């Protein structure tokens, strides 16, 4: 059976090669790339970007009947509960907390991968992003929140107590509202254990790596990107020589004059007597900068004392606003912003400010960006942004979309395989950096394996008369898996899975009929259905949209 399965999988995948109709079929493909996206393509792109799933057939039909409705429909996606999850994905690369394993205080790295705390820790700063998105709050709440939103398992691990929130608030799925109760300053992400467990420091490093991580996450600026002219007579093996250079050498002071005061805010997360992270914030260590660096806490010349002061400085910094705009813009366009994008970024920054610094306002502005819609344009602030005709699906979008269709999700040690470097994430081009612009040929392999497993899961469940848990349940429950599909049924399948409206005599439908016939000749009808569904789930439409 294994060799047969491999045989029909090859047949199924090859059947779709060379049969693509670039016009998309009856208006849903959108014509040539240079003309921009059609309404159906725009609907599909926005749905995947903001909800992580393809639009329903009803939504596609509504746009086909009334193309002018597409703007209102995609703007409405920001009200979907899944919007918070997608914003978490966009900002995951800023915080880099989604790693496979954390060093747990009582276990170090000895803990098992299926310990739920590993995933729970990594989600902490991103859950606050989701809460802000779901409740349409100003993004400065990221720095001013006095509560955190965590998996309940963390209530037994960290010094947290659950607290009541305002009536009608929308919590990220699977979280509780909680507050740290160990005396630490309450300043949004700056109060979170996850951030400083992920970005650790030695006393010798004096929190400088952590300070740079915050600069990257909040300001999109890394000290490591600055040119450094090291003194040729500096002995990098001597700690005292390094300290003296940092304090007196102009080349070193170019960075350290602002880096070290920023790092001095973070000594409460330093535990000099342990090589493992501690759950409790060390209030008594806050002024350890006096002994170790002598650099008084400050933010680019603005003095402060505790993390709440740092939070206010960052929240009032224009670079924080611009960085947020850039992250969301790059996440939605699927590419890095270049010099030619600066005019577009300026326009979206104005919309972000006018909208009260809410993610919904920013996202809605980008939804109307001609580049996002595959069209060339010239922003009023200048530049000629590159239109995005097609973009590569991030591994999170790819896996979530396929899982929603088939009901199948590959899991390892109780966690989604596409969220673990140990499993599929790195192979697909992802990493703990959470970058949405990475491209890897391994994503094709991941898609094909998920397509094969998902197709088997969905068809075998339907054959046994049970639900697979995906949107294909309705379709598979309404066909006879013991008989060959009609061309009309295959066109309906393509409509559901790939968001394309093809005629019954379209070459792709004809090719899928051939797949069914070829596999049925060497196996049985259900296996032939699995082959057809594999081919549709493995189509490039899921990788490029």
Q: How confident is the model at residue 103 (pLDDT cuts 50, 70, 90)?
A: confident
Alpha carbon distance 341, 348 (integer Å)? 11
Asked if residues 267 and 194 have their Cβ atoms less than 8 Å apart, the reply is: no
Alpha carbon distance 85, 79 (integer Å)? 12
SS3 303: strand
Helix, strand, coil percentages for the chain (3-state, nearest 5)? 55, 5, 40
pLDDT tens string 291-314: 999 999 999 999 999 999 999 999
- Whether 229 has a pLDDT exceeding 80, the answer reads no
Query: What does the block give as tokens for 380?
Result: 């009023």
Asked if residues 194 and 121 have their Cβ atoms less than 8 Å apart, the reply is: yes
- The domain spans of the chain are 2-79+392-542, 82-193, 199-315
Nearest one of 389, 372, 377 to 331, comparing CA atoms: 372
Asked if residues 409 and 416 have their Cβ atoms less than 8 Å apart, the reply is: yes
Alpha carbon distance 269, 207 (integer Å)? 9
Alpha carbon distance 135, 335 (integer Å)? 28
What pLDDT score does 248 carry? Answer: 62
Considering only 73-77, 425-429, 494-498, which range has the smallest mean pLDDT? 425-429
DSSP per-residue codes, 109-158: TTS-TT-HHHHHHHHHHHHHHHHHHHTT-BTTHHHH-S-EEE-GGGGGTS
Nearest one of 532, 453, 464 to 494, comparing CA atoms: 532
pLDDT tens string 359-369: 999 999 999 99
pLDDT tens string 42-85: 999 999 999 999 999 999 999 999 999 999 999 999 999 999 99
Alpha carbon distance 127, 122 (integer Å)? 9
Asked if residues 374 and 36 have their Cβ atoms less than 8 Å apart, the reply is: yes
- Whether 242 has a pLDDT exceeding 90, the answer reads no
DSSP 298: E
What pLDDT score does 304 carry? Answer: 97
What pLDDT score does 26 carry? Answer: 46
Count other Cβ atoms within 10 Å, centred on residue 513: 18
The stretches of 16-115 forming alpha helices (DSSP H) are 39-51, 57-65, 70-76, 82-95
DSSP per-residue codes, 311-337: HHHHHT-HHHHHHHHHHHHHHHHTS--
479-502 residues labelled b (16+ CB within 10 A) or e (exposed): eebeeebebebbbbbbbbbbbbbb
Report the pLDDT averaged over residues 500-507: 96
Residues above pLDDT 70, as percent of the chain = 86
DSSP per-residue codes, 467-530: --SSTTHHHHHTS-TTSPPPHHHHHHHHHHHH-----TT-HHHHHHHHHHHHHHHHS-HHHHHH
What pLDDT score does 441 carry? Answer: 80
C-alpha dihedral, 58 to 61 to 63 to 66, nearest 10° = -120
Asked if residues 326 and 220 have their Cβ atoms less than 8 Å apart, the reply is: yes
Q: How confident is the model at residue 175 (pLDDT cuts 50, 70, 90)?
A: very high
Cα atoms found within 13 Å of the Cα of residue 167, Cβ hemisphere only: 0
C-alpha dihedral, 153 to 158 to 163 to 168, nearest 10° = -50
CA 206 vs CA 203, 288, 299, 388: distances in Å: 5, 10, 16, 43
Alpha carbon distance 430, 424 (integer Å)? 9
pLDDT tens string 130-152: 999 999 999 999 999 999 999 99
Q: How confident is the model at residue 109 (pLDDT cuts 50, 70, 90)?
A: low
Q: Which residues contact 259 (CB under 8 A, 6 or more apart)?
A: 208, 211, 212, 223
Alpha carbon distance 124, 333 (integer Å)? 26
Alpha carbon distance 210, 215 (integer Å)? 9
Look up the pTM and report it: 0.90
What pLDDT score does 232 carry? Answer: 62
Query: What does the block give as tokens for 522?
Result: 């060497």
Q: How confident is the model at residue 436 (pLDDT cuts 50, 70, 90)?
A: low
Helix (H) or strand (E) holding 462: helix 442-463
What pLDDT score does 6 carry? Answer: 39
């Amino acid at each position: 059976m294994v060799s047969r399965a491999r045989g029909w999988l090859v047949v199924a995948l090859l059947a779709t090669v060379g049969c693509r109709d670039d016009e998309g079929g009856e208006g849903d493909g959108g014509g040539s790339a240079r003309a921009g996206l059609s309404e159906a393509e725009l609907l599909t792109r926005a749905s995947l970007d903001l909800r992580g799933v393809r639009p329903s057939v009803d939504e596609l039909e509504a746009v086909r009947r009334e193309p002018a409705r597409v703007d209102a429909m995609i703007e409405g996606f920001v009200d979907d509960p899944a919007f918070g999850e997608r914003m978490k994905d966009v900002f995951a690369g800023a915080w880099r907390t989604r790693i496979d394993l954390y060093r747990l205080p009582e276990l170090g790295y000895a803990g098992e991968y299926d310990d739920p705390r590993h995933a729970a820790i990594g989600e902490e700063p991103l859950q606050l992003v989701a809460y802000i998105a779901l409740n349409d709050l100003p993004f400065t709440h990221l720095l001013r929140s006095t509560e955190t939103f965590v998996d309940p398992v963390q209530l037994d691990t960290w010094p947290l107590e659950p607290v009541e929130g305002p009536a009608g608030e929308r919590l990220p799925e699977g979280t509780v509202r909680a507050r740290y109760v160990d005396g630490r300053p309450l300043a949004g992400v700056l109060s979170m254990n996850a951030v400083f467990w992920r970005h650790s420091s030695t006393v010798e490093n004096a929190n400088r790596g952590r300070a740079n991580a915050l600069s990257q996450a909040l300001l999109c600026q890394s000290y490591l990107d600055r040119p450094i002219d090291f003194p040729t007579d500096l002995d990098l093996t001597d700690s005292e020589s390094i300290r003296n250079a940092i304090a007196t050498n102009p080349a070193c002071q170019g960075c350290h004059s602002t880096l070290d005061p920023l790092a001095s805010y973070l000594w409460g997360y330093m535990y000099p007597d342990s090589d493992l992270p501690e759950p409790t914030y060390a209030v008594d260590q806050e002024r350890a900068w006096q002994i170790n660096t002598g650099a008084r806490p400050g933010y680019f010349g603005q003095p402060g004392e505790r993390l709440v002061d740092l939070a206010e400085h960052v929240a009032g910094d224009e670079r924080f606003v611009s960085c947020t705009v850039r992250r969301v813009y790059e996440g939605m366009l699927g590419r890095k912003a270049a010099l030619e994008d600066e005019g577009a970024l300026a326009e979206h920054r104005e919309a972000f400010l006018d909208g009260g610094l809410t993610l919904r306002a920013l996202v809605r502005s980008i939804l109307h960006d001609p580049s996002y819609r595959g069209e060339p344009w010239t922003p009023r602030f200048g530049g000629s942004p590159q239109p995005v005709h097609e973009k590569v699906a991030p591994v999170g979008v790819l896996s979530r979309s396929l899982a929603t269709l088939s009901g199948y999700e590959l899991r390892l040690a109780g966690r989604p395989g596409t969220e673990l470097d140990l499993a599929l994430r790195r192979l697909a081009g992802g990493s703990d950096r959470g970058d949405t612009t990475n491209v890897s040929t391994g994503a094709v392999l991941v898609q094909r394996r998920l397509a094969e497993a998902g197709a088997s899961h969905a068809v075998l469940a339907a054959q046994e008369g049970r639900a697979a848990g995906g949107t294909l349940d309705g379709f598979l429950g309404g066909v006879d898996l013991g008989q060959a599909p009609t061309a009309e049924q295959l066109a309906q399948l393509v409509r559901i899975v790939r968001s394309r409206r093809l005629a019954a005599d379209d070459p792709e439908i004809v090719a899928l009929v051939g797949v069914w016939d070829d596999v049925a000749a060497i196996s049985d009808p259900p296996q032939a259905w699995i082959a057809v569904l594999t081919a549709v789930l493995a189509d490039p439409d899921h990788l490029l949209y």
